[in-house]
Amino acid sequence: MSGRELALIGGMAAVTFLVRYAFFALGERVAFPPVIQRSLRYVPVAVLTAIVVPMVLLPDGAHWQLNWHNAWLLGALVSGLIAWRFNHLLASIGGGMLVFFVYRWIVG
Amino acid sequence: MPHARHPRRWTEIWTGARDSLPMLLGAAPFGIIFGTLAAPSGLSAGAALAMSLCVFAGSSQFIALTLLASGTGLAVILVTTLVVNLRHALYSATLLPHVAGLRQRWRIPLAFWLTDETFAVVQHRYGAPDRSPHKHYYYLGSCLAMYSNWFLWTLAGVMLGRSVPRLEHMGLEFAMAATFTGIVVPMLKNRPMLGAALGAAAVALAARGLPYKLGLMLAALAGVVIGVLLEQWQEAA
């Protein structure tokens, strides 16, 4: 393992543990201010969407692919549809990947 | 035997592990994909395994891989890890009343092993009407199952990645896009959530040229602010 990897893992481990442990460490009943509590609820949606949308619309990281040749877009749309209709994560992942790989194989 | 009518410690550990079974299966593909994608993203096999052992946070491990592959610096990865894992602070705040009476030698490992999955089952167990004094053993059982499961599937993925060359050209990383999509879409149940997602997406696209993935942080911030504002506006209306 390189020094850079060691720093990465050590840093991520420390950050993750501190977030998980901060309140356990206090050991008393503590409550978030309501505005923080509210804000935290939007974090997963905001972060994950911010990662996935550019991935899907610009698969090579540089060029817009707003067309039907874009397997990423098609696969993600299928994943989203399954998730929306059935609320089943694994089915949504499996369905999206199936469409993605079949479509890439067909389009070449 | 004052506690004889309550489940014994080992029974609690076993039940906690057993109740986590669906989530053990659900985590398996992510462990495999994480292990498989580690090498093409620039993370050695040892580092991938060490990350699963020391960090033990699926979504931030995935995001770290994505950021590493695009050449992002350490500081940005750590800040992103912090933001992505902030929800765990909410979990620990929720569970705090149940663990506040435990010693630190319990609280430290239980905090380290706190994941979305374990939070879900453990919260359910603490809500059960029986007054068993050993519910933290149930928590421990779920943790041990999830932890060993995550490590073993990471190992399986690392081995798979080594035996299948040029895996990085197969588009497996689409699994991450599919996963995040599958997680996000069911959360878009109301206008504030939808607004948060749309706002984050728009800012992420507009600011994607900024260095150090700063666009991601701006997008997250924008999404959160829009969500909170819409929620307040909805309440006021």
- Among residues A48, A39, A45, the alpha carbon closest in space to that of B228 is found at A39
Mean pLDDT of B34-63: 93
- What's residue B89's pLDDT? 85
pLDDT of residue B27 exceeding 80: yes
Which tokens sit at A55? 């991935």
- Among residues B70, B43, B11, the alpha carbon closest in space to that of A54 is found at B70
Query: Dihedrals φ, ψ of A60, to 5°?
Result: -90, 5
- Among residues A41, A62, A47, the alpha carbon closest in space to that of B204 is found at A47
pLDDT of residue B56 exceeding 80: yes
pLDDT of residue B213 exceeding 80: no
Whole-angstrom distance, CA of residue B44 vs CA of residue B38: 7
User: Number of CB pairs < 8 Å for A and B?
Assistant: 263
Cα→Cα distances B86→A20, B71, B215, Å: 8, 24, 19
Radius of gyration of chain B (CA): 20
B1 pLDDT band, cuts 50/70/90, is very low
pLDDT of residue B92 exceeding 90: no
- What's residue B64's pLDDT? 92
Q: Which residue out of A32, A36, A43 would a mutagenesis test of the B interface target, given it has the greatest number of B Cβ atoms within 10 Å?
A: A43
Which tokens sit at B144? 């041990």
Q: What is the mean pLDDT of chain A?
A: 89
Task: Please judge whether A45 and B187 are an interchain contact, meaning their C-beta atoms are less than 8 angstroms apart.
Answer: yes
pLDDT tens track for A58-103: 988 889 999 988 999 999 999 999 999 998 878 998 999 999 999 9
Whole-angstrom distance, CA of residue B202 vs CA of residue B219: 8
Task: Please judge whether B81 and A12 are an interchain contact, meaning their C-beta atoms are less than 8 angstroms apart.
Answer: yes
Contact (CB, 8 A) for B133 and B12: no
How far does A68 lie from chain B, in Å, by closest CA? 16
Task: Please judge whether B85 and A20 are an interchain contact, meaning their C-beta atoms are less than 8 angstroms apart.
Answer: yes
Task: Please judge whether A43 and B63 are an interchain contact, meaning their C-beta atoms are less than 8 angstroms apart.
Answer: no
- What's residue A7's pLDDT? 96
Nearest to B178 among A4, A20, A93 (CB): A93
Q: Which residues of A touch B66 (CB under 8 A)?
A: 51, 55
Q: Which residue out of B136, B143, B180, B229 would a mutagenesis test of the A interface target, given it has the greatest number of A Cβ atoms within 10 Å?
A: B180
State percent of chain A over pLDDT 90. Answer: 56
Mean pLDDT of B171-186: 82
How far does A63 lie from chain B, in Å, by closest CA? 12
Type of residue numbered A97: M
Whole-angstrom distance, CA of residue B210 vs CA of residue B173: 23
Range of weakest confidence among A69-78, B19-28, B57-66, B140-149? B19-28
pLDDT tens track for B102-161: 999 999 999 999 998 888 788 888 888 898 999 999 999 999 999 999 999 999 999 998
**Is A80 near chain B, with CB under 8 Å?**
yes
Residue with tokens 């690392």: B158
The neighbour count for residue B74, using CB atoms within 10 Å, is: 14
Q: Which residues of A touch B97 (CB under 8 A)?
A: 29
pLDDT tens track for B161-177: 888 766 556 676 787 78
Interface of B with A in 179-198 (CB under 8 A): 179-188, 192-193, 196-197
